[in-house]
Amino acid sequence: MECPHLSSSVCIAPDSAKFPNGSPSSWCCSVCRSNKSPWVCLTCSSVHCGRYVNGHAKKHYEDAQVPLTNHKKSEKQDKAQHTVCMDCSSYSTYCYRCDDFVVNDTKLGLVQKVREHLQNLENSAFTADRHRKRKLLENSTLNSKLLKVNGSTTAICATGLRNLGNTCFMNAILQSLSNIEQFCCYFKELPAVELRNGKTAGRRTYHTRSQGDSNVSLVEEFRKTLCALWQGSQTAFSPESLFYVVWKIMPNFRGYQQQDAHEFMRYLLDHLHLELQGGFNGVSRSAILQENSTLFASNKCCINGASTVVTAIFGGILQNEVNCLICGTESRKFDPFLDLSLDIPSQFRSKRSKNQENGPVCSLRDCLRSFTDLEELDETELYMCHKCKKKQKSTKKFWIQKLPKVLCLHLKRFHWTAYLRNKVDTYVEFPLRGLDMKCYLLEPENSGPESCLYDLAAVVVHHGSGVGSGHYTAYAAHEGRWFHFNDSTVTVTDEETVVKAKAYILFYVERQAKAGSDKL
């Protein structure tokens, strides 16, 4: 959006000494001292938190609109001030009077100069932090990021993802997918998109809801994000380019409101699948298929067209079996799936913690059994029987006709009531190893001894009481160790901590025939 208020609102010098010390992305709000989503006013250089933290940046603008004098000239001048601010993490510029992100600049290019200065401050702080950590690495007794593995000391190479403003839902999913080896490796090995030529070459792209550029690639930005993780070259990576593409192609996720991680995962996988069907960066789809013939050979699950790595890894097939209770007519339908959404049985919904007494603990097997058990459809779901030629009472049952390589299980923790969407906070016990899916198969006799066994690869957890609030983190296994991903912070954890988590999304990887029962 072209903002008309920049000339009167951008008043600070690009190298202003009024800026706080340290990394801009970790600056604290001058009111509540929160370092989440800091925004700097481009009139007075004061720092406040974003509207989805405590909203002090917006309040700073609103307070400035009260005229200080009765003179019309000064009133007009005051109202024009403090309207434009910059995100200290993504460097996007926002105007409160226009209520939109800004893409233009002043005649002197002050916005870009401030942006470059903040980037330099961030890079300097990062370099200093990296130098400090390198010094600490020299002394293992002072560094908590050193681990003993098989008698030798190694450093963590995991990279966190910066929160761009309530984007923890995206970060948790990205970290989980990055630890699904076969899926992640496919994207990392794709060819990179050529750099743009001319005046736009190498130029950074910033968030805007009204920018007209539609030539974006989700696959490319997803590839670059996965490549940035696990390199060990930085403590945190900022996925703003990927988030920009998400805004462009997934309108539901525009803005900085908290979103549902499962909904985002489905949108992400669906759009990756659709983009890959048409080829990528000039590489034909047939060439990609030829290079990954082993991966796609056994895949029979095609969603919205031909097979891609998304359906080859996550794709399974359900058999939906419906029986008319009046005439006994049986109807069968095969439905492809990328994940299974499981209800938490109602008898367990009052049980919140693992250690709470009052009956048995809900297990993942209870949720799977509830999903596949024979169910009588209620009056609102009457089945149209072709033999009776009218809607009749019926029963429904799901069978799994084909298991995927990666089994994604979504626990339905959010339920609508009359006016609210409540959270089911029940603890669900889940295995780290050896989840046996054989008893849920349509034809279990045709499966191998270990082809139905799954080991846990990642878990997404929702902390808080509602879908529109709270916080998402993820646990994931990498090279035999478990890590906890909390936005830009990555810590090593243990299996005991993982199994105590109140899982929201579970990613299970099919156990290979040669893998031992005690290995992940």
Whether the per-residue pLDDT at 405 is higher than 60: the answer is yes
Please give the structure tokens belonging to residue 418. Answer: 């009359």
Q: pLDDT grade, residue 134 (50/70/90)? A: low
Catalytic residue among 117, 415, 463, 471: 471
Mean model confidence pLDDT for the chain? 79
Q: Quick one: pLDDT at residue 154?
A: 45
Mean pLDDT computed over 130-144: 47
* CA pseudo-torsion sign 492, 494, 500, 505: positive
Distance CA 161, CA 175 (A): 8
Q: Which residue has the higher pLDDT, 485 or 77?
A: 485
| Surface-to-core class of residue 129, CB atoms within 10 Å of its CB (0-12 exposed, 13-18 middle, 19+ buried) | middle
Q: Quick one: pLDDT at residue 44?
A: 87
Length of the chain: 520
The strand pair at 84-87 and 38-41 is best described as antiparallel
For residue 156, which of 225, 234, 232 has the smallest C-alpha distance?
232
3-state secondary structure of 335: strand
pLDDT tens for 352-385 read 655 555 668 899 999 999 888 888 887 777 888 8
Mean pLDDT computed over 321-349: 88
Residue 514 C-alpha from the chain's centroid:
32
Q: Quick one: pLDDT at residue 433?
A: 94
| Share of residues in the chain with pLDDT > 70 (%) | 74
User: Rounded to whole angstroms, what are the CA distances from 333 to 270, 329, 339, 378?
Assistant: 22, 13, 17, 20
3-state secondary structure of 152: strand
pLDDT tens for 271-314 read 999 999 876 444 444 444 444 545 554 455 555 567 899 999 99
Q: Which domains does the chain have, with CATH numbers?
A: 6-65+80-124 (3.30.40.10)
Mean pLDDT computed over 462-480: 86
Residue 446 C-alpha from the chain's centroid:
36
For residue 272, which of 213, 338, 206, 349 has the smallest C-alpha distance?
338
**Residue 343 C-beta-side C-alpha neighbours within 13 Å:** 9
Most confident range, picked from 9-23, 197-211, 467-481? 467-481
Q: Quick one: pLDDT at residue 156?
A: 61
Q: pLDDT grade, residue 219 (50/70/90)? A: very high
Mean pLDDT computed over 136-162: 53
- Give the DSSP letter of residue 298: T
Catalytic residue among 49, 168, 385, 408: 168
Q: Quick one: pLDDT at residue 307?
A: 85
The answer to whether residue 168 is catalytic is yes
The answer to whether residue 56 is catalytic is no
Q: Which parts of 386-451 are beta strand (E)?
A: 390-392, 394-402, 406-412, 414-416, 421-423, 428-429, 435-436
Q: Evaluate whether 5 touches 42 at the Cβ level (below 8 Å).
A: no
Distance CA 77, CA 128 (A): 41
Whether the per-residue pLDDT at 11 is higher than 70: the answer is yes
pLDDT tens for 165-182 read 889 999 999 999 999 999
